[in-house]
Amino acid sequence: MVTIYDIAKKTGFSPTTVSKVFNGYSDVSQKTRRIIMDTAEELGYLPNAHARSLTTKRSWTIGILFIETSGVGLLHPYFGGVIEGFKKVATSKGYDLMFVSKDIGGKKSGYLEHCKIRGVDGVVIVLPDYTDPYFIELLESDIPCVLLDQESDSKSTVYSDNVAGSIEAIEYLYSLGHRDIAYINGGQTFAGEKRLQGYMQGMQKLGLPVLPQHIVQGSYDYTVESGRIAMEELLKLDTLPTAVFVAGDNFAIGAIGAIKAHGLSVPEDISAVGFDDIEMAKYVTPALTTVRQDTYVLGKRAADMLIYCIEGGSEIQQAVIPVELVIRDSCRPL
């Protein structure tokens, strides 16, 4: 392995000067700089990130933490988009991304421990189970963090405008003449709660009664199958709603499957609106009307905020990303 000492020896300068060159210090002559750069090139020198981190206490690494309990992980389209966006800006600013789990070295530990041992400069937290004590511990630490789909006083957060999106969905259904609008929620998550809140606000705003039997809790995992199961609940009702607003496209697709399985059809018998606008949404039958959230932007914004924080920014920021209703074929006028 070629080190700065090799370059120093070969050029006759000191390791200090060599180091200065690579760190862009101004107190090195142009000539010396050239010689050192050329020699580095010639010897195939590459810096050693570990050695650098050891002295500078900066790893240029960002930890990425996403929930592990559901088992779906990256398979959910939400994560993919967010991580892609995040990675894009983090990389361009010189950071690498590392997955952070509860375990390290094959042993149980905790997120905070993991972060400290690895010396990450900051952490993005995606869709966490916010009752997890290890998560709380991280939140209360002084490590720079940004939370997605989460609210917090101590850390910066970014999330989609779930409330507005839900209200828009309800208003759209209302405009089509629907009055009996059910809601399938996405488990006990921040986004789920906000969407539920939006549903209720929307209904109330329009003077529509919120019926308890019209609200069903889907499970946390946001899988198609869970959506199917949730819809089954609704289909047991004596008088069916004329529309369902579903807190996730996977869910919605499952729900539509359930409706079809009951010999009913969408949108003829029941109209449906989803949330997310996954790629598949426009290709399922009927093409899904849904609230689009821009996960890529979510990720990019999160990276901006985290890096701001890592680089000394002390202000706790909060970004709410607008969503947009995309009208397709899963709703009909009454």
5 binds DNA (CB under 7 A): yes
Tell me the closest approach of the beta carbon of residue 3 to DNA, in angstroms: 3
CA distances from 247 to 185, 200, 219, 227, 280 (A): 5, 13, 11, 9, 16
46 binds a second copy (CB under 8 A): yes
Question: What is the pattern of x (binds a second copy, CB under 8 A) and - over residues 252-281?
Answer: -xx--x--x------------------xx-
Tell me the closest approach of the beta carbon of residue 214 to a second copy, in angstroms: 24
Tell me the closest approach of the beta carbon of residue 19 to DNA, in angstroms: 3
109 binds DNA (CB under 7 A): no
Which 12-51 positions form the footprint of DNA (CB under 7 A)? 12-17, 19-20, 22-23, 25-29, 31-32, 45-48, 51
326 binds a second copy (CB under 8 A): no
Binding site for DNA (CB under 7 A): 1, 3-5, 12-17, 19-20, 22-23, 25-29, 31-32, 45-48, 51-52, 54-56
Binding site for a second copy (CB under 8 A): 46-51, 53-54, 59-61, 73-77, 79-81, 83-84, 87, 91-94, 96-101, 103-107, 113, 116-119, 223-224, 250, 253-254, 257, 260, 279-280, 283-285
